[in-house]
Amino acid sequence: MVLAILIGVNSRVNLAVFGSGNGSNCRAILQAIRDKRLSATVTVIVSDRNDAGILKIASENDIPGYWICKEQYEHKNQFFDNLFRVLKQHKVDMIILAGYLRKIGPPLLEAYPERILNIHPALLPAFGGKGMYGLRVHRAVIESGVKVTGITVHIVDGEYDHGPIVLQKTLEVCDDDTPETLSEKVLQLEHRYYAQAIQYFAEGRCHVHQRRVIIRSTNS
Ligand code: GRF
């Protein structure tokens, strides 16, 4: 079943934001929409954890929020049926992962081809993959001795932190950085730039050639 809708130039995109944690990126996306830096509407928020901060953001902003995870169902297809029902009900064009710790299954990837984005708190393809999230990423960055780190927004494919890269921004790793200080600085960068990457899609400016995401300039 293909739910994906081609997003035309200048149309408002309906987003589902998926998260397992605090949801600070979701908050930043909502702010970007209010500031008119992002032509989108967050029509639904989904979490696999009922105590996730991101669900509080949903209720604070009068956005429908759902706790949906595989463990609630006897069969995997019941999980996907319910998820698709919710996505359809809220007319979702794109899925934005913001700290969502579950792997995205093939049915969702097929329904939203090149319409699922993730943000990772390091410069992929380094410091990514299964189990690389939160402070573990920043600890690995510091231990490796690299001088720069940053953020990566990428299209989601069937492997963790692997799909085509949409946007990367860097920052310096200072000698006195700890995983905690780095995490804070990287998060600030995420909040500044995730919306920009989504906006490229909202404006219909992206296409993927081999593994490269080509972003058409606004003049062409
Ligand atoms: C961010 O660091 C993001 O890169 C990663 O998970 C974290 C989510 O933070 N995928 P928040 O829930 O948006 O505050």
CA distance 171 to 193: 13
Find the 98 Cα to ligand 1 centroid distance in Å.
5
For residue 196, give the 3-state DSSP assignment: helix
Find the 57 Cα to ligand 1 centroid distance in Å.
14
Q: Is 137 exposed, middle or buried (CB count within 10 Å of its CB: 0-12, 13-18, 19+)?
A: buried
Q: What does residue 16 show for φ and ψ, rounded to 5 degrees?
A: -105, 130
Tokens encoding 34: 């209010």
- Assess whether the C-beta atom of 150 lies below 6 angstroms from ligand 1: no
State residue 220's pLDDT score.
Answer: 67
For residue 2, give the 3-state DSSP assignment: coil
State residue 218's pLDDT score.
Answer: 83
Ligand 1 atom closest to 25 (CA) = 13
CA distance 112 to 167: 19
With bands split at pLDDT 50, 70 and 90, how would you rate the model's confidence at 219?
confident
With bands split at pLDDT 50, 70 and 90, how would you rate the model's confidence at 4?
very low
Active-site positions read: 120
Query: In the 8-state DSSP scheme, what is residue 164?
Result: P
Q: What is the mean pLDDT of residues 15-27?
A: 98
State residue 11's pLDDT score.
Answer: 66
- Assess whether the C-beta atom of 128 lies below 6 angstroms from ligand 1: no
- Assess whether the C-beta atom of 98 lies below 6 angstroms from ligand 1: yes
State residue 195's pLDDT score.
Answer: 98
Whether the predicted pLDDT of 7 surpasses 60: no
Tell me the HSE value of 155 on the side-chain side, using a 13 A CA sphere: 23
Pocket test for ligand 1, best of 42, 103, 119, 151 (most atoms within 8 A of CB): 119
Find the 23 Cα to ligand 1 centroid distance in Å.
7
- Assess whether the C-beta atom of 13 lies below 6 angstroms from ligand 1: no
**3 vs 26, residue with greater confidence:** 26
Q: What is the pLDDT of residues 151-207, one digit of tens each?
A: 999 999 999 999 999 999 999 999 999 999 999 999 999 999 999 999 999 999 999
Q: What is the pLDDT of residues 58-85, one digit of tens each?
A: 999 999 999 999 999 999 999 999 999 9
Q: What is the mean pLDDT of residues 98-103?
A: 95
Q: Is 69 exposed, middle or buried (CB count within 10 Å of its CB: 0-12, 13-18, 19+)?
A: middle
With bands split at pLDDT 50, 70 and 90, how would you rate the model's confidence at 5?
very low
Pocket test for ligand 1, best of 116, 152, 187, 188 (most atoms within 8 A of CB): 187
Tokens encoding 146: 């690299």
Non-local CB neighbours of 166 within 8 Å, separated by 6+ positions: 117, 153, 154, 155, 197, 200, 206, 213, 215
